[in-house]
């Protein structure tokens, strides 16, 4: 029987060669190359990740040692009976006693905390809006094209922000002295200025006194109800005369920093947008309200957040100018925490005040974030969710 088929000699020889040829390893080679390249990419990514960890390791170590560990230690001190001697780790666990003494048990500790919160609340309510409005006003003024000497004015307005707070506080002590410059200016208008840093009267009580409400005999419905040991009448006292001087200091020193933030944001607004609004016949106020303010919303949120955090943490000016006086009318939670810990030796209670202040700042920041959220994006997300539900 013949091996060669009927297809011809050449075709049969080609079939024999294909049958006897060694297996083709090209597919296997491609797979091996792909595997090696995949392992190479994974190895490169691992090396990049290791390099990134090495780069951030110094900063991470600093944050852990000088931020995270002290916060954890302070949290432990706030729930312990540490006396300030020896290691806090050797102190006994006291539970929530320090927090209860401040929040639920009537006494001096609770009244001092309430007094500090009241004072700081009025400080925040006045400083944050005033410094924001002043900073925005200065920024819009310096952003004008035809204004001459912009560099000088920017430096002049920003200079108080970089000056030592101790030096500025001492200057304000002389300005608001009983015989200082402020009272001298008020005397030109026939106003007898107060002895600022020795007057504990609340501005709210002074204004109510002009309408016949006597501070010595307040309304019973305000005097008979209290919150954290202070009557509602005391909560409505407003900032003290001494606190008003400190508020003026805070507004003057912080507006320059926020002015630069607003100025940078104003310069990022495209000129075409404002020119188009001018062509439409809008006034300056309409352009500011409809064009400038919406573009400044992220910067405004940043300024308000930084202002809120900074005003709730005010300490240096209180320490230098008033030490919480007169009659605790300038006492703030930050200074009360220092005073309770370092002067009175109640370290657990002082740490608890610090964490109560931390909780207040977080809550106010979240509320501000909720109020200033982008309602346009929120409405768009709701429409998309409704459409997807259908």
pLDDT tens track for 125-162: 999 999 999 999 999 988 887 777 778 888 888 888 88
Coarse DSSP helix, strand, coil percentages of the chain, rounded to the nearest 5 percent: 70, 0, 25
pLDDT of residue 3: 44
Between the alpha carbon of residue 277 and those of residues 19, 36, 229, 265, 283, the distances in Å are 82, 60, 55, 18, 9
Does the residue 381 lie in any domain?
Answer: yes
Fill in the DSSP letter of residue 32.
Answer: H
In a domain, 349, yes or no: yes
Q: What is the Cα–Cα distance from 261 to 281, expressed in whole angstroms? A: 29
Number of domains observed in the structure of the chain: 1
In the prediction, which pLDDT does 247 show? 95
- Enter the tokens of residue 44: 């490169």
At residue 293, the pLDDT reads: 87
CA atoms of 214 and 220, how far apart (whole Å) = 12
Q: What are phi and psi of 248, to 5 degrees?
A: -60, -40
Note the pLDDT of residue 165. Answer: 87
Closest CA to 243 of 180, 173, 329: 329
Establish if 220 belongs to a structural domain: no
Mean pLDDT along residues 222-226: 85
Q: What is the mean pLDDT of residues 6-20?
A: 55
Q: Answer yes or no: is 225 within a domain.
A: no
Instruction: For residue range 251-305, list pLDDT tens digits in order.
Output: 999 999 999 999 999 888 887 877 787 887 778 788 888 888 888 899 999 999 9
Structure confidence at residue 17 (pLDDT): 56
Angle (CA) 354-359-360 rounded to 5° is: 95
pLDDT at 45 over 80: no
Q: Are 242 and 197 in contact (CB under 8 A)?
A: yes
Pick the closest to residue 321 from 247, 235, 239 (CA basis): 247
Residue 258 lies in a domain: yes
Structure tokens at 37: 């390249």
Beta-carbon count within 10 A of 14 CB: 12
> Domain for residue 18, yes or no?
no
Q: Give the distance, in angstroms, between the CA of residue 324 and the centroid of all CA atoms in the same chain.
A: 24
Q: Residues near 157 by Cβ (< 8 Å), separated by ≥ 6? A: 138, 142, 255, 256, 259
Instruction: Copy the structure tokens of residue 240.
Output: 């003290």
Cβ atoms within 10 Å, residue 35? 10
Between 359 and 325, where is the model more confident? 359
- 216 inside domain: no
Q: Which of 2-6, 286-290, 325-329, 382-386 has the lowest mean pLDDT?
A: 2-6
Which tokens sit at 11? 């075709």
CATH number (domain holding residue 132): 1.10.3720.10
The pLDDT score that the predictor gives to residue 271 is 79
Partners of 93 in the β-ladder: 80
320 CB neighbour count, 10 Å cutoff: 18
Domain that holds residue 253: 106-202+238-269+296-389
Q: Is residue 197 part of a domain?
A: yes
Global pTM?
0.82
Residue at token pair 């040829």: 21
**By mean pLDDT, which of 33-42, 62-71, 94-103, 196-205 is the weakest?**
33-42
Q: Are 120 and 312 in contact (CB under 8 A)?
A: yes
For residue 124, the model assigns a pLDDT of: 95
The one-character DSSP state at 338 is H
β-strand partners of 240: 202
Q: Quick check: 122 and 239 in contact, CB under 8 A?
A: yes
What's the pLDDT tens digit per position in 313-340? 999 999 999 999 899 999 999 999 999 9
């Amino acid at each position: 029987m013949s091996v060669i088929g009927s297809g011809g000699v050449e075709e049969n020889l080609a079939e024999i060669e294909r049958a006897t040829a060694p297996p083709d390893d090209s597919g296997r080679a491609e797979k091996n190359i792909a595997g090696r390249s995949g392992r190479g990419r994974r190895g490169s990514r691992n090396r990049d990740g290791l390099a990134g960890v090495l780069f951030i390791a110094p900063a991470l170590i600093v944050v852990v040692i000088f931020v995270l560990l002290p916060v954890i230690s302070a949290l432990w001190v706030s729930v312990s009976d540490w006396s300030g001697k020896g290691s806090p780790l050797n102190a006994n666990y006291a539970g929530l006693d320090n927090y209860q003494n401040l929040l639920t048990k009537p006494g001096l500790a609770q009244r001092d905390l309430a007094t500090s919160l009241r004072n700081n609340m009025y400080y925040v309510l006045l400083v944050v809006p005033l410094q924001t409005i002043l900073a925005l006003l200065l920024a819009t003024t310096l952003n004008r094209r035809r204004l001459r000497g912009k560099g000088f004015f920017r430096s002049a307005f920003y200079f108080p922000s970089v000056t030592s707070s101790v030096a500025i506080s001492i200057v304000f002590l002389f300005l608001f002295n009983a015989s200082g410059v402020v009272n001298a200016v008020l005397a030109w208008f026939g106003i007898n200025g107060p002895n600022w840093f020795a007057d504990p009267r609340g501005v709210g009580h002074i204004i109510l006194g002009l309408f016949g409400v006597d501070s010595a005999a307040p309304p019973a419905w305000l005097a008979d109800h209290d919150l954290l040991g202070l009557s509602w009448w005391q909560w409505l006292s407003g900032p003290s005369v001494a606190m008003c001087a400190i508020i003026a200091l805070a507004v003057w020193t912080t507006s320059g920093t926020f002015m630069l933030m607003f100025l940078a944001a104003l310069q990022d607004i495209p000129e075409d947008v404002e020119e188009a609004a001018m062509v439409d016949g809008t006034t300056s106020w309409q352009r500011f309200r409809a064009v400038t303010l919406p573009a400044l919303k992220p910067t405004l949120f940043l300024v308000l957040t930084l202002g809120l955090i900074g005003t709730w943490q005010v300490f240096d000016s209180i320490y230098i100018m008033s030490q919480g006086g007169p009659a605790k009318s300038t006492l703030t939670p930050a200074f009360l925490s220092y005073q309770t810990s370092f002067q009175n030796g109640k370290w657990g209670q002082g740490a608890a005040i610090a964490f109560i202040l931390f909780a207040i700042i977080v809550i106010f920041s979240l509320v501000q974030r909720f109020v200033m959220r982008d309602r346009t994006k929120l409405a768009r997300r709701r429409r998309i969710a409704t459409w997807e539900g259908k």
